[in-house]
Amino acid sequence: MATPDSLALFTGLGLSENKARETLKNEALSTQLREAATQAHQILGSTIDKATGVLLYDLVSRLRDTRRRSFLVSYIANKKIHTGLQLSAALEYVRSHPQDPIDTKDFEQECGVGVVVTPEQIEEAVESTINKHQLQLLAERYRFNMGLLMGEARAALRWADGKMIKNEVDMQVLHLLGPKMEADLVKKPKVAKARLEETDRKTAKDVVEKGENYKTPGYVITPYTMDLLKQHLEITGGQVRTRFPPEPNGILHIGHAKAINFNFGYAKANNGICFLRFDDTNPEKEEAKFFTAIYDMVTWLGYTPYKVTYASDYFDQLYAWAVELIHGGLAYVCHQRVEELKGHNPLPSPWRDRPKEESLLLFEAMRKGKFAEGEATLRMKLVMEDGKMDPVAYRVKYTPHHRTGDKWCIYPTYDYTHCLCDSIEHITHSLCTKEFQARRSSYFWLCNALKVYCPVQWEYGRLNLHYAVVSKRKILQLVAAGAVRDWDDPRLFTLTALRRRGFPPEAINNFCARVGVTVAQTTMEPHLLEACVRDVLNDAAPRAMAVLEPLQVVITNFPAPKPLDIRVPNFPADETKGFHQVPFASTVFIERSDFKEESEPGYKRLASGQPVGLRHTGYVIELQNIVRGSSGCVERLEVTCRRADAGEKPKAFIHWVSQPLVCEIRLYECLFQHKNPEDPVEVPGGFLSDLNPASLQVVEGALVDCSVALAKPFDKFQFERLGYFSVDPDSHQGQIVFNRTVTLKEDPGKI
């Protein structure tokens, strides 16, 4: 609740009433601003002008090392720092000079204190810049990049007022070129920028030098920071270290593929190492199969962890640090129930200020199993960015742990464990998705409270797909409802499901590279992932022939007394990759859709009076007779054949099989009918009501040529004219089962 005095104080700084009320909701920020304003009032008296008030607000919202607040407030109140540019320079200076004492002479020089830029100096700097580019200006006139003139003039006069420079540039350009003419309004054509190689691409993350974590925006500096960073460099030798830290309570999905690529890829690109660390702090939900599946998926994507570690490796150290926090008055045992801690504004704990001796005894009692689950937690004394107060560090759970058994009945939380494990493993880049940004303050606070090395946390946007759900809870609901078979059902977007469907790991990695790393959440169309799959399989999947809806064709004048062996290239576009043989007998099977009794405009396949070629055989067949069954349906065709070079070339060549294998083929479509099945506006009945009834079609009597007879699970083929297919693990000696991975084209109607 905003008090009238606080509200008046903040609005007196020039903040709007709404902005002041929002600020008061953040206890840490409002405390810092109140103290800064009080100090400024002591220097300036009862009134603070709006420009100074804005600088004070900017200062406290950006300053992380609060030891420097009083020092910087005095410079602002005394008008020695009076522009945003100077304040930015001041903040950068104190961030890069964390040790006492500050060299005030050097500080003032770096921040432009006392520097006066006259209008004459601005005029001369702009005139010099315009003279330098005069020929190009006269040629391009108002299509010239005026920002270049501004930038060069600002570089010459670092502390000059930006508005004054802009006004001077506008005036001198007008004097040189005169008023704009109609031709000046035509936009300059854009020149395509050369694509940077991967090694040349740099982000903000790359500009922080080894061991210079303290220069990262938002990094909290303490008196111990520099010594800890020095020790860190001695241990790592400046090596980049990342980690992929999944919870072993579910199967990885396409979003995790982005995280794997980013963590392992960034380390590899910088000659560093990446740990695979299992965050096994919740024994209730963890199963051995998830550990195995996660490791398998990481290696399947082509990455080898430097080391596989577990949060449970560090349980003893984490417990010792928790005791240290209590000793320091930074943590306490609380008895509020879980339901009391939920919501946006939970009540403060009545046990927050209990004596630390009492908390030490109670925490030991928690460890010894003297509290039931939910009766006691250990909480840390801090406020996070999202306003959450005193996050839980330890809770009671009487579930045996898969690695430590019954040794512990208290387990650390993610908020407590994550940053400390990063510190123990000397991670340099703690890369995590955007939702963890609200935990950055607890990350820095906890490492600094325990005086241990503090890595840098970087956030990036999640990767999602339309027509999909990836939540563990919702996938379990799909399994329970019988909508899918299990976590690896090929209609899902878990990595095990994608592997089973036949997606190559290279295609998934390529997709992640195309999506890139952004701060914003990315939701992509599935067909973009499928395009990456086609790119890989086109060069990797050997060709075969299959018929999904067979129609028997008898060649009445077959040219040989026994079947012919036909050599078929594995890759027609590159015959150096070898051939396989298939039999060609007097009875073949074609797709029922490749025959029409009467031809139609635009139809090029087999019909009465319209012959068609059989791929790879060198023969053309022509319809002679249609044999119907008792129901009147076409049962088989009788045809004659001739050499393809013995007459007119047919309009089309179709695929076929002879003496084939009978296989099961599973055809997949999107599992959901709407793009966003979890959106209550788009799907009011919930995602389970949005299931696509045509998401799976099983073809039990499909015929495939015998070249695939020895295929093993996950072997991949292109069935000519049909798509890419992969052997399913359900295959057995009596029958091969194929999953359609993707069609040949995005629109199967074009095939």
- Hey, how many other C-beta atoms are within 10 angstroms of the C-beta on 26? 16
**Does residue 202 lie in a domain region?**
no
pLDDT at 176 over 70: yes
For residues 46 and 12, the answer to whether their CB atoms sit within 8 Å is no
Domain-embedded: residue 149:
yes
| pLDDT, tens digit, 9 for 90 and up, residues 145-167 | 888 888 888 888 888 888 888 88
Q: Are residues 105 and 143 in the same domain?
A: no
Average pLDDT value for residue range 298-321 = 97
pLDDT band at residue 137, thresholds of 50, 70 and 90? confident
- As a whole number of angstroms, the distance between CA 467 and CA 672 comes to 5
Q: Which residues form the domain of 343?
A: 313-417
Asked if residue 746 has pLDDT above 70, the reply is: no
Q: Which has the minimum average pLDDT: 210-214, 406-410, 448-452, 467-471?
A: 210-214
Question: 0.85 exceeded by the pTM?
Answer: no
Whether 617 and 714 share a structural domain? no
Q: Is the pLDDT of residue 344 over 60?
A: yes
Residue with the bigger pLDDT between 599 and 304: it is: 304
Q: State how far the Cα of 203 lies from the Cα of 516, in Å rounded to an integer.
A: 12
Is 320 a residue whose pLDDT tops 50? yes
Question: What is the mean predicted confidence (pLDDT) over 37-50?
Answer: 90
Residues 131 and 93 in one domain: no
What's the pLDDT at 243?
97
> Mean per-residue pLDDT for 598-624?
94
Q: Which of 622, 637, 655 is the last residue of a domain?
A: 655
End-to-end CA distance of the chain: 66
Q: Is the pLDDT of residue 30 over 50?
A: yes
pLDDT(331) > 90 = yes
Say whether both 98 and 10 belong to one domain.
yes
Verify that 379 and 324 share a domain, yes or no. Answer: yes
Indicate if the pLDDT at residue 26 is higher than 80: yes
For residue 738, what pLDDT is reported?
98
CATH number of the domain that residue 63 is part of: 1.10.8.1290
Is residue 341 a part of any domain in this protein? yes
Strand partners of residue 405: 401
User: 9 and 107: one domain?
Assistant: yes
Indicate if the pLDDT at residue 360 is higher than 90: yes
The chain-wide mean pLDDT, for the chain, equals 89
Asked if residue 534 has pLDDT above 60, the reply is yes
CATH number of the structural domain spanning residue 169: 1.10.10
The values of phi and psi at residue 523, to 5°, are -120, 115
pLDDT at 251 over 70: yes
Cβ partners under 8 Å of residue 482, min gap 6: none
Q: Within this chain, do residues 635 and 675 fall inside the same structural domain, yes or no? A: no
223 in a domain, yes or no? no
Q: Which residues are known to be catalytic? A: 247, 462, 472
Query: For residue 616, which of 544, 711, 561 has the smallest C-alpha distance?
Result: 544
Given 401, 417, 433, the domain boundary residue is 417
* Per-residue model confidence as pLDDT tens digits over 372-420: 999 999 999 987 766 678 999 999 999 999 999 999 999 999 989 999 9
Same-domain status, 587 and 651: yes
Residue 73 neighbours by CB distance under 10 Å: 25
The DSSP H or E segment spanning 167 is: helix 162-177
Q: Predicted confidence band at 200 (pLDDT cuts at 50, 70, 90)? A: very low
Q: How many domains does the chain have?
A: 5
Write the DSSP assignment of 196-217 as a string of letters. PPGGG---GGGGSPTT-GGGST
- Residue ending a domain, among 77, 92, 111, is 111
**Same domain, yes or no, for 648 and 697?**
no
Q: Is residue 295 part of a domain?
A: no
Residue 192 in this model has a pLDDT that exceeds 60: no
Residue 729 and residue 641 in one domain: no
**CA-closest candidate to residue 279, choices 433, 436, 419, 439:** 419
Q: Is residue 261 part of a domain?
A: no
Whether residue 445 contacts residue 220, with contact meaning beta carbons closer than 8 Å, is answered with yes
Same domain, 646 and 668: no
Residue range 124-153: mean pLDDT, rounded: 87
Q: Is the pLDDT of residue 189 over 70?
A: no
Q: Does residue 693 belong to any structural domain of this protein?
A: yes
Query: Same structural domain for residues 669 and 738?
Result: yes
Which residues, including other chains, have CB under 8 Å from residue 549's CB and lie 6 or more apart? 591, 592, 593, 699
- To 5 degrees, how large is the angle CA 549–CA 540–CA 730? 50
- Domain of residue 709, CATH code: 2.40.240.10
- Residues 555-579 have a mean pLDDT of 94
pLDDT for position 1: 41
- Please write the tens of the pLDDT for every residue from 65-117: 788 999 999 999 999 998 888 998 898 888 778 788 899 999 999 999 999 88
**Residue 127 included in any domain:** yes
Q: How does residue 186 score in pLDDT terms, banded at 50, 70 and 90?
A: low
